[in-house]
Amino acid sequence: MNQDIDDALQGWEARPGALQARLIEARDSRQVMQLRIDLGILQIEITDRPDGTRPHGFATYFEYLRQQARIADRAGHEFALSEEQCEEADREFVQFYHRRVGWLTLRNYARAIADADHTLAFMNFIRDHSPNDDYTRAHEQYRGFVLFHRTQAAAALAVEKNDPEAAIDAIHDGLEKLRSFFASFEAEEQMEEDPMVEQLRKMDRSLRQLHNIEATLQEQLQQAVANEEYEAAAKLRDALRKRKN
Stated pTM of the model:
0.92
Chain segment 162-190, per-residue pLDDT in tens: 999 999 999 999 999 999 999 999 999 99
190: in domain = no
Place 39 in a pLDDT band, splitting at 50, 70 and 90. confident
Classify 20 as helix, strand or coil. Answer: strand
End-to-end CA distance of the chain: 53
List, for residues 212-229, the tens digit of each pLDDT value.
999 998 898 898 888 899
Examine the pLDDT at 1 and tell me if it is beyond 60. Answer: no
pLDDT score of 243:
79
The dihedral through the CA atoms of 54, 59, 61, 67 has a sign that is negative
Domain assignment present for 245: yes
Is residue 4 scored above 80 in pLDDT? no
Look at residue 35 and tell me if it is in a domain: no
Task: Establish if 226 belongs to a structural domain.
Answer: yes
pLDDT reported for residue 2: 66
Instruction: Give me the helix-helix angle, 61-74 and 109-129, nearest 10°.
Output: 40
Residue 238 in any domain: the answer is yes
Across the range 137-147, mean pLDDT stands at: 96
Summarised one tens digit per residue, pLDDT across range 55-91 is 999 999 999 999 999 999 999 999 999 999 999 999 9
Residue 180 counted as domain residue: no
Q: Which residue would you say has higher pLDDT here, 157 or 237?
A: 157
Q: Please check whether residue 71 lies inside any domain of the structure.
A: no
Domain that holds residue 224: 216-245
Report pLDDT for 58. 98
pLDDT value at position 209?
97
Q: Side-chain half-sphere of 227: how many Cα atoms within 13 Å?
A: 10
Do residues 32 and 24 lie in contact, with contact meaning Cβ atoms separated by under 8 Å? yes
- Number of folded domains in the chain? 1
Tell whether 141 is covered by a domain.
no
